[in-house]
Homo-oligomer: A and B are copies of this chain.
Amino acid sequence: MKRFVSLSEHSREEIGELLALASHLEKHPDPAALARTLPGKVLGLLFFNPSLRTLSSFQAGMARLGGSCFVISPGQGSWQLETRTGVVMDGAAAEHVREAIPVLAGYAHALGIRSFAGGTDLEADLADATFAAMAATLEASYPVPLINLESAIDHPCQALGDWKTLDDLGVPAAGGKLVLTWARHPKPLPLAVPATVVQMAAARGMEVTVLRPEEYALPEPLMERAQGAAALSGGSVAETADRDAALRGAHVIYAKSWASPKHYGDLSAESDLRARYADWTVNESWFRPAAPGARFLHCLPVRRNVVVADEVLDGPRSAVLPQAHNRMWAQMAVLHRMLAGLKKGAP
């Protein structure tokens, strides 16, 4: 596997194999045995944005497989990196990604990059322009395998871990109902997770409903991507602002906040808008119309009593901890596929 940058690049068969490998690793975690998998292998991690789960689970996962990571965080121990092309670099950035990325690739056996949405230009973010340019630079210069650690519109490691979580919880694929609901939040957040979740659940064959105020309707290209996946899998994707209708019979409520595409980059209009949706905090009452035993998911980090009430997170519905833990097993499966097969003598 040369790239893991979007779940949409992988067939259901490939995903199934990764999930099976992830479960196998989870069920056979003998440290000494696992550590013989990737001796001497190095994963470079380039974080343009902060992280907790991704930062720790990739380091832990590589270490469990016997390999190692290095972490570069522009602006923290390393200087700022320029991503625009053709500019006269007399500002804050001391180095361009056109140098930094192939340089790091030359030190590593695989590279992971996190680069969130810019949050001001919706077109550019929907095109995943910054991440795509970095991926192209890597491909053209020193093409080690690439992992997307979250870009403007994709977070495939989250998708794979979430898929495993749904399997582990016994949530049906065909006929399973997943509601992705917008939730309130003090800041306008990127579209990467909602875009990824609908695509993943649609590809899994689920009946997906995006529940959100009208102004938070997901941009058409993201809905179309999910609908394309649903068409192949036999699932479905819909959007609504009708909470009761959406939640009726849901097996899973997956909460996540995101910025209004209507006011993209306009912080003041966003702020006025979200003030009108103060009751979009998921609490126990949201589960009344849902299926019995319906579960709660969130990618984390989550703001307690803003996005979701303590009663839900601390109750038996919440599966956010196994969901987070599955990030590691899913990523270890990806690393295993990418790196364990390298022949002797390969760089």
Q: Residues of A at under 8 Å CB distance from B?
A: 28-35, 38-42, 44, 47, 50-53, 55-57, 59-61, 63-68, 70-73, 76-79, 82, 86-91, 94-96, 98-100, 102-104, 106-109, 141-142, 186, 300-306, 310, 313-314, 320-321, 324-325, 328, 342, 344-347
B99/A345 in contact, CB under 8 A: no
**Docked complex Cα distance between A302 and B73 (Å):** 18
Q: Using Cβ atoms and an 8 Å threshold, which residues of chain B touch A301?
A: 79, 94-95, 99-100
B87/A305 in contact, CB under 8 A: yes
**Docked complex Cα distance between A50 and B77 (Å):** 5
B99/A72 in contact, CB under 8 A: no
A107/B30 in contact, CB under 8 A: no
- Which chain B residue lies CB-closest to A318? B99
Given A40-B65, A52-B95, A94-B301, 4 more pairs with CB closer than 8 A? A35-B40, A40-B63, A63-B70, A106-B321
Q: Using Cβ atoms and an 8 Å threshold, which residues of chain B touch A76?
A: 76-77
Q: Using Cβ atoms and an 8 Å threshold, which residues of chain B touch A88?
A: 304-306
**Docked complex Cα distance between A52 and B70 (Å):** 11
How many of these chains are in the complex? 3
B52/A64 in contact, CB under 8 A: no
B99/A302 in contact, CB under 8 A: yes
B82/A30 in contact, CB under 8 A: no
List the 6 closest pairs (A to B, CB-CB), nearest first: A31-B40, A35-B40, A95-B301, A63-B68, A106-B325, A60-B107
A66/B78 in contact, CB under 8 A: no
A103/B63 in contact, CB under 8 A: no
**Docked complex Cα distance between A10 and B201 (Å):** 50
Given A28-B345, A141-B321, the answer on whether A328 and B56 have CB atoms closer than 8 Å is no
A343: shortest Cβ distance to chain B, in Å?
Answer: 9
**Docked complex Cα distance between A79 and B300 (Å):** 12
B39/A90 in contact, CB under 8 A: no
Can you list 22 A-B contacts (CB < 8 A)?
A: A29-B347, A30-B40, A31-B41, A33-B40, A39-B66, A40-B64, A40-B66, A59-B68, A59-B70, A89-B304, A90-B186, A94-B301, A95-B302, A99-B302, A99-B324, A102-B321, A103-B300, A103-B324, A103-B325, A106-B321, A106-B324, A142-B321
Q: Using Cβ atoms and an 8 Å threshold, which residues of chain B touch A102?
A: 321
Instruction: Name A70's contact: one of B60, B73, B95 (CB within 8 Å).
Output: B60
The listed residue with most B CB atoms (<10 A of its CB), out of A38, A99, A347, is A99
Q: Using Cβ atoms and an 8 Å threshold, which residues of chain B touch A342?
A: 31
**Docked complex Cα distance between A98 and B301 (Å):** 11
**Docked complex Cα distance between A119 and B196 (Å):** 43
- Which chain B residue lies CB-closest to A309? B88
